[in-house]
Structure 1
Amino acid sequence: MVFQKSLTRELTLTALGVFIVLLAIIVSTQAINLLGRAAEGQIANEAVAALIGFWTLGFFPVLMILTVFVSVLVVFTRAWRDHEMVVWLSSGLSLRDWIWPIMRFTLPLAVLVAGVTLFVGPWADQRSQDYAEIIKRREEISAISPGVFKESASSSKVYFIENYSGLHSAATNIFMQDMTEGKVSTIFAKRGYISIKPDGERVLVLEDGKRYVGEPGQADYQIGEFKRYTASLGDSQVATGPASNRQSIPTRALIAGSGNPEYRAELAWRLSMPFSCIFLALLALPLSYYNPRSGHTYNLLFALLAFFLYQNGLTLTRNWVGQDKVGVWAVALVHALMLAAALLLLKHRDRPQAPFSQSMRLMFSKKR
């Protein structure tokens, strides 16, 4: 029908605009956070763009769910404001007749959310961990900017480099000061790079330099020259496996390990995402009611409150399932309550001028 095609086109254009705005806000916020951490030397400068990309992929399902909810809400609020819904109801049609046109728009996006949540999201989270691990293995030098003094995580070493080549992971004109066991060791080297031992320990290899060792306040310093000097950079760094973070565990592994409460909680959360997209789109239809005579937009506040209650309810039940306090049925109960609320509001908005209590009595009263 013509109105279905027109609605789908309007929802699509609105969703595109909403998605771009939300994506710009969220990505810019995360970019500012990562750039601040890079300026402080916590992460390498070249890691910022990759980490933003991985983070965006992981956040995509929630972003798409919010986009669908806001799009349906905005489009139908406009229809109420322009009296289109009044004409619709006056023609003897019900709000329930809008459900299928909305589902035509929502179901493909719900399938997209399911695909990203079940498959792409865990992959992106694992790749983010792997990339962060690679950066961590050379963060003692590569995470700092040339010409800036950098203190190690253990606060026992201070580094300074004049130039750094990210391509070869090598630095030139290196200054390092090691303060351990009451002695100060100061090293100047022309070149240096980070090497990984077979056991995973990171070591800093310095070439062509001098080493000064002594106690602070004393004049008996020892001076030595070296062609090659190796300094430990800390404990062994073993790459984190998928099991270190349940968000990065593949869905197949979650299904195979369903006996683990945390695995059940994560699996239930992933399966909840596409259902959330559908139920929120359905809820947005009655919540979009707008009375042009009053001029108030309280419906937007109620819609925002409903979204946060729904998402927080799912998060809370997921945590309870992970702690083995309740079963997976608790997550399904939250969805059932949201679906029931959407259907009750749909029935009520078929009579927009009737009080809510009267609509409920008509709904549950027996027909004579």
Structure 2
Amino acid sequence: MLFDSSVRRELWRSFSGTLVVLLTVLLTMVLIRILSQATKGALAPTDVGLVLSYTVIGQLPVLLALALFVSVVSVLSRIWRDSEMVVWQASGARQASFIRPLLGMAWPVLLMVAGAALVARPWAQNQTQVLKYRYEQRSDMARVAPGQFQVSADGKRVFFIDSHSDGLQSGRNVFMVTTADGQEAVVTANQGQVQVIDGQRFLVLSHGERTQTDLSTGEKALSRFETAKVRMGEAIDPNDVAPDMRSLPTLALLALRSDEARGELVWRFGLVWAAFNMVLAGLSLAAGNARRHSSWNLVYALLVFVVYFNLLSLSQTWVSRGKLPWDGALLAVHGTLTGAALLVVWWRDGARWPGQSARRPSPKASP
């Protein structure tokens, strides 16, 4: 009882501290990336907080698995380094005896990983796509911030407006540069408004002028207009957009028979199995020698984590391309690590089966 409670308490303290540190690093990195995307016009500045939250939720399974792995390795390495393992072994505890307290501490974390990987991550990915889709569906006029130049969604136009009207569907003092087919057109107008006519989006300009330049010859043509329409593209139907496998619910993926769906299932179920394997791998890699102050086991642990999760991504790619069956990929990657970790623990315990006593050399007969 004392053995289980002491190990669990120290594991929880290490896990909480590690998770806070990893979450801080992740928030900083993701915030910089999202702010860069908002600056380039990939998403609305007002949605930065929501996209940040959804991105963190999507990365939560890997974050929890890494924090669990680091806590197991650090706590068990400290036990070996401070010679506490010698005390526990003298009391009859083997290295396999740590599996029970480790899983007793890890099962709430494993449940959180399963919920995040199978439910929360697809939902967060779907919400992120909805935000980006809504922003993409807004008119180019709504994308433009007053006083700033902005490139259109297709990259063929540059807009500048002095101010917005109500609803962000029209702007005043519009300046637009269009380049296509060797022609450059500079259009200025007092007002511009976006309208959808027969499934097409048009920018309706009023009271302006147009200067068209032939880029090959340099010839220019000036014209003035009361009203002009500029085609901006087709109005996209959301039903025509192909769904992203990462945003589909797990039950919907199970109903699909495509290789892409199977590959996404390998990633989701693999994250849950990987979190369980991190506990066993941490137990097998944390053994050390109190007389030798070296940190090679920590280096090996980091190498195992990096290689393992790269294999997880690689298995998803192979299944998505139809090179491996999805159940075979799960067994090959995760089942191999599970068996290897248990084999190492069994070997460190003297290759004894449960209930088998340690072999002692028989005394030699005296002459």
Structure 2 distance, partners of 1:306, 1:132, is: 36
- The more displaced of 160-169 and 286-295 is 160-169
Q: How far off is 1:88 after superposition?
A: 1.0
Question: Helix, strand or coil for the counterpart of 1:221?
Answer: strand
The yes-or-no answer on 1:343 pairing with 2:365 is: no
Question: Helix, strand or coil for the counterpart of 1:237?
Answer: coil
Question: Helix, strand or coil for the counterpart of 1:73?
Answer: helix
Amino acid at match of 1:9: R
Q: How far off is 1:277 after superposition?
A: 0.8
Question: 1:258-315, CA deviations, whole angstroms, 9 ceiling, x for partnerless residues?
Answer: x322222222321222111111111101211232322110111100111122222222
Residue 45 (structure 2) aligns with: 45
Residue 34 (structure 1) aligns with: 34
Q: How far off is 1:57 after superposition?
A: 1.4
Could you say what the CA RMSD is over the residues aligned between the two structures, in angstroms?
Answer: 3.0
Q: Are the counterparts in 2 of residues 43 and 139 from structure 1 also a CA contact under 8 Å?
A: no
Q: Are the counterparts in 2 of residues 318 and 331 from structure 1 also a CA contact under 8 Å?
A: no
Question: 1:191-250, CA deviations, whole angstroms, 9 ceiling, x for partnerless residues?
Answer: 445455563x444344x5313244455565211234xx5432234433377853211122
Q: How far off is 1:36 after superposition?
A: 2.0
Amino acid at match of 2:304: A
Structure 2 distance, partners of 1:309, 1:181, is: 50
Question: 1:300-337, CA deviations, whole angstroms, 9 ceiling, x for partnerless residues?
Answer: 11001111222222222222222222222232122221
Residue 306 (structure 2) aligns with: 308
Distance 1:241 1:72, change over 3 A: farther
Structure 2 distance, partners of 1:211, 1:286, is: 75
Structure 1 distance, partners of 2:313, 2:249, is: 20
Question: Helix, strand or coil for the counterpart of 1:231?
Answer: strand
Amino acid at match of 2:223: Q
Residue 255 (structure 1) aligns with: 254
Distance 1:319 1:177, change over 3 A: closer
The yes-or-no answer on 1:87 pairing with 2:87 is: yes
Residue 114 (structure 1) aligns with: 114
Amino acid at match of 2:18: V
Distance 1:31 1:171, change over 3 A: farther
Structure 1 distance, partners of 2:201, 2:148, is: 22
The yes-or-no answer on 1:287 pairing with 2:285 is: yes
Question: 1:129-188, CA deviations, whole angstroms, 9 ceiling, x for partnerless residues?
Answer: 111011112363444443222233544322112334796455443212334455554433
Structure 1 distance, partners of 2:28, 2:166, is: 26
- The more displaced of 58-67 and 10-19 is 10-19
Question: 1:24-65, CA deviations, whole angstroms, 9 ceiling, x for partnerless residues?
Answer: 212211211221232334433223222222211111111111
Question: Helix, strand or coil for the counterpart of 1:222?
Answer: strand
Amino acid at match of 2:331: A
Structure 1 distance, partners of 2:39, 2:106, is: 42
Q: How does 1:17-166 map to 2 (within 5 A)?
A: 17-138=17-138, 140-164=140-164
Structure 1 distance, partners of 2:77, 2:258, is: 44
Q: Are the counterparts in 1 of residues 245 and 261 from structure 2 also a CA contact under 8 Å?
A: yes
Structure 2 distance, partners of 1:178, 1:59, is: 40
Q: How does 1:325-364 map to 2 (within 5 A)?
A: 325-327=323-325, 328-350=327-349
Q: How far off is 1:342 after superposition?
A: 0.9
- Please, what TM-score do these two structures have when normalized by structure 2? 0.85
Structure 1 distance, partners of 2:165, 2:81, is: 60
Residue 317 (structure 1) aligns with: 315
Question: Helix, strand or coil for the counterpart of 2:209?
Answer: strand
Q: Which runs of 5+ in 2 are unaligned?
A: 353-358, 361-367
Structure 1 distance, partners of 2:242, 2:154, is: 27
The yes-or-no answer on 1:187 pairing with 2:187 is: yes
Structure 2 distance, partners of 1:298, 1:139, is: 57
Q: Are the counterparts in 1 of residues 141 and 168 from structure 2 also a CA contact under 8 Å?
A: no
Structure 2 distance, partners of 1:100, 1:246, is: 37
Amino acid at match of 2:333: V
Amino acid at match of 2:226: E
Q: How does 1:264-283 map to 2 (within 5 A)?
A: 264-283=262-281
Residue 364 (structure 1) aligns with: none
- The more displaced of 140-149 and 44-53 is 140-149
- The more displaced of 189-198 and 300-309 is 189-198
Q: Which runs of 5+ in 1 are unaligned?
A: 352-358, 361-366
Amino acid at match of 2:8: T
Distance 1:346 1:181, change over 3 A: closer
Aligned length: 353
Q: Are the counterparts in 2 of residues 204 and 232 from structure 1 also a CA contact under 8 Å?
A: yes
Q: Are the counterparts in 1 of residues 152 and 158 from structure 2 also a CA contact under 8 Å?
A: yes
Residue 356 (structure 1) aligns with: none
